[in-house]
Amino acid sequence: MGVPGAEDEPVGAALARMRRAKRISGTRLAALAGMSQPKISRIERGQGTLNPDDVDAIARALGMGDAEIQALVARAAKSYDRMTDWRPTSAGLALAQETLAEWESGAARVRTFEPTLVPGPLQAHGYAKLVLRAFQRLLVLTEEERSEPALLAAVSARLRRQEHLANPDTAFEFIMGEAALKIRTHPPVEVLAQINHLRDILARHPNVRITIVPDGAPTPIPLQHGFTVIDDALVLVDLYNTGLTSHSRNDVMTYHRVFELLQEQAVGVEPFLDRYQSMYIGMLREG
């Protein structure tokens, strides 16, 4: 019962097949491997980046031989050092948020840039629901994943990511484009609630820094897409239908450099919160 010859079988699927063959539950395997059961499930489903060390731990917990373990670890390593497609649609929006939370937990430094949206860990409930509903409509999902309960589960999972903001050992740095506050796709009342939420986060969490790139700032690079860099270990690039993840040192260093270039033109967010709060209050009074 070794590793099959088919090179295109995903490593996670191979581990899942071997677990079932040994009649070991996911919960039991998680205990044997020293991981959480949701992490085992994500690995088996191919959700998230596959760490060769995790593959090694799971394979050993399954009692595989050294040759089998080395073959699986080698296959995992091939994808570990390059940009890898990571689709929230493969497991639903809520599980995608849980994966992001796991990546953020325990990190020493999380750096996020968003050109047109308030970053996920900073979103208020109403704002998060509007954003995730838009992606729920856009993505190819099952009928269950398009349901209101699935949307609310994703919103709750996104809001739970904010628990990590209270960890003083993690430095969070967020840069937004000014468009994140000025785009009028959301009702003024929700944007006002979001502005107040940003003020509250800044007041409560000294380890959180929020800056903004003003419209017209002479940025050395275009504000092309959102991304998150976690420590020196992982970069996640946001696209409409997926995310791209990489543990490649070169990729991580490149996006650290991009963040630093944006940071040179970024300024404190507080004056912009004041300006746009006044603007949206005026819109409510006029409306």
The last residue of one of the domains, among 80, 102, 120, is 80
Tell me whether residue 268 is in a domain: yes
Q: Are residues 203 and 114 in the same domain?
A: yes
**Lowest-confidence pick of 122-126, 148-152, 215-219, 228-232:** 215-219
Q: Are residues 280 and 161 in the same domain?
A: yes
* 209 Cβ neighbours under 8 A, 6+ residues apart: 171, 172, 173, 174
Mind listing the pLDDT tens digit for each residue in 99-120?
899 889 889 999 999 999 999 9
Tell me whether residue 27 is in a domain: yes
Global pTM value: 0.76
Q: Which two tokens stand for residue 199?
A: 């003020």
Tell me whether residue 62 is in a domain: yes
Q: Are residues 36 and 54 in the same domain?
A: yes
Around 119, how many Cα atoms within 13 Å sit in the side-chain half-sphere?
Answer: 31
Nearest to 213 by CA among 274, 173, 269, 257: 269
Q: Are residues 116 and 64 in the same domain?
A: no
**Lowest-confidence pick of 20-24, 27-31, 71-75, 203-207:** 71-75
State the total domains in the chain: 2
Q: Are residues 152 and 56 in the same domain?
A: no
Tell me whether residue 57 is in a domain: yes
Q: Are residues 220 and 248 in the same domain?
A: yes
Mind listing the pLDDT tens digit for each residue in 189-232?
999 999 999 999 999 999 999 999 999 999 888 999 999 999 99
Tell me whether residue 2 is in a domain: no
**DSSP letter (8 states) at residue 30:** H
Taking the CB of residue 249, how many other CB atoms lie within 10 A of it?
A: 11
* 125 Cβ neighbours under 8 A, 6+ residues apart: 155, 159
Q: Are residues 90 and 224 in the same domain?
A: yes
The last residue of one of the domains, among 23, 56, 80, is 80
> Which of the four pLDDT bands, split at 50, 70 and 90, describes residue 91?
low
Q: Are residues 67 and 114 in the same domain?
A: no
Q: Are residues 217 and 111 in the same domain?
A: yes
| Confidence at residue 81, expressed as pLDDT on a 0 to 100 scale | 67
Q: Are residues 34 and 135 in the same domain?
A: no
Tell me whether residue 5 is in a domain: no
CB-CB contact of 220 with 60 (8 Å): no
Q: Which two tokens stand for residue 45?
A: 């489903």
Domain encompassing residue 17: 11-80
> Which of the four pLDDT bands, split at 50, 70 and 90, describes residue 4?
very low
| Confidence at residue 240, expressed as pLDDT on a 0 to 100 scale | 87
Task: Return the CATH number at 121.
Answer: 3.30.870.10
> Which of the four pLDDT bands, split at 50, 70 and 90, describes residue 6?
low
Tell me whether residue 4 is in a domain: no
| Confidence at residue 7, expressed as pLDDT on a 0 to 100 scale | 60
